[in-house]
Amino acid sequence: MTLTKADFEALRRVYLFSGLGDDEYLEALSHAGVVHLQAGQLLFSQGDAAHAFFWVAEGIVKLYRVSPQGDEKVIDLIGPNRFFAEAVLFMGGHYPLNAAAQIPARLIAFDGQAFKEWLGRDVNRCFRLMAAMSARMHKLVNEIDRLTLMKGADRLMQYLLDHSDPDDSGRERVDLEVPKQVIASRIGVKPETFSRLLHKLVDMGCVEIEGQALYIRDPDAMRQVRVE
């Protein structure tokens, strides 16, 4: 299955391709194809040979590890317009995590070997892509440092703010398509702690829950809230 016009337009704006010329961009996407996953379907397992990297067009992909005791730790939830496994492209070897669709997902998969060969034909092209990836990595490291210093409540509020988008009426909405225990694992708290903190935010008037949607009443005010 081929990419749509919307795919081409959306990918043109992402950090990995923003520094490329138009002809280069089209060449880069010649190594891409579409992958559909059903909810719960595994994309790759930890230790599998790394053969591709991915961009989420629709849905949510869960990156996670499983302990020897069978406990699952969610490392990240990758939503639309985000890449994952792109760093593995240059590290070679194997995927360090498991990846599975949390809900039905449509992905754009890039053939890793073909993409590396394409990069290798132009040194300047490599440097531009490396600069974009370095800037992205620097941003992620800063985010990790910030989250490490946060309390559980602050991490929950930051997660909600990061995953909110305005709806047709302008209200900031978070779709709760992911089970609460998965979000709890993602932000590093127990499920019961997650529920308690969420109820506190409701009681404080920071958020409203309507079915499978959560609304942030005032994002700027919530950034100033302190939950004990």
Per DSSP, what are the bridge partners of residue 173? 165, 215
Question: At which of 123, 148, 173 does a domain end?
Answer: 148
- Specify whether 123 is located in the same domain as 62: yes
Domain hosting 110: range is: 5-148
Stated as kind and residue range, the H or E segment containing 57 is: strand 52-58
- Specify whether 100 is located in the same domain as 186: no
- Which pLDDT value is given to residue 136? 67
- Torsion angles phi and psi, residue 85, rounded to 5: 70, 10
User: Any idea what the CATH number is for the domain that residue 74 is in?
Assistant: 2.60.120.10
- Specify whether 193 is located in the same domain as 119: no
- Specify whether 114 is located in the same domain as 174: no
- Specify whether 124 is located in the same domain as 201: no
226-to-20, 27, 151, 206 alpha-carbon distances in Å: 43, 49, 10, 11
DSSP string, 133-186: HHHHHHHHHHHHHHHHTS-HHHHHHHHHHHT-EE-TTS-EEEE--S-HHHHHHH
- Which pLDDT value is given to residue 224? 82
Residue 228 within any structural domain of the chain: no
Question: At which of 148, 171, 200 does a domain end?
Answer: 148
- Which pLDDT value is given to residue 186? 81
Chunked in runs of 10, what are the mean pLDDT values of the chain (228 residues)?
86 83 89 94 94 93 88 87 84 88 95 87 77 68 67 86 84 83 84 90 90 88 78
Q: How many whole angstroms separate alpha carbon 184 and alpha carbon 78?
A: 15
- Specify whether 142 is located in the same domain as 52: yes
- Specify whether 31 is located in the same domain as 51: yes
The helix/strand/coil state of 33 is: strand
What secondary structure letter does DSSP report for 2? P
16-to-1, 59, 86 alpha-carbon distances in Å: 22, 20, 9
- Which pLDDT value is given to residue 20? 81
- Specify whether 110 is located in the same domain as 37: yes
User: Any idea what the CATH number is for the domain that residue 184 is in?
Assistant: 1.10.10.10
Residue 227 within any structural domain of the chain: no
Stated as kind and residue range, the H or E segment containing 200 is: helix 191-203
**Based on the structure, what is the number of domains in the chain?**
2
Q: How many whole angstroms separate alpha carbon 84 and alpha carbon 63?
A: 9
Residue 31 within any structural domain of the chain: yes
Q: How many whole angstroms separate alpha carbon 29 and alpha carbon 178?
A: 30
- Which pLDDT value is given to residue 215? 93
- Which pLDDT value is given to residue 177? 75
Stated as kind and residue range, the H or E segment containing 27 is: helix 22-29
Residue 179 within any structural domain of the chain: yes
- Specify whether 100 is located in the same domain as 133: yes
- Specify whether 10 is located in the same domain as 106: yes
- Specify whether 14 is located in the same domain as 123: yes
- Specify whether 115 is located in the same domain as 174: no
Cβ neighbors of 57 (< 8 A, separation 6 or more) are: 7, 10, 34, 80, 106, 107, 108
Question: At which of 148, 175, 210 does a domain end?
Answer: 148
Q: How many whole angstroms separate alpha carbon 21 and alpha carbon 31?
A: 16
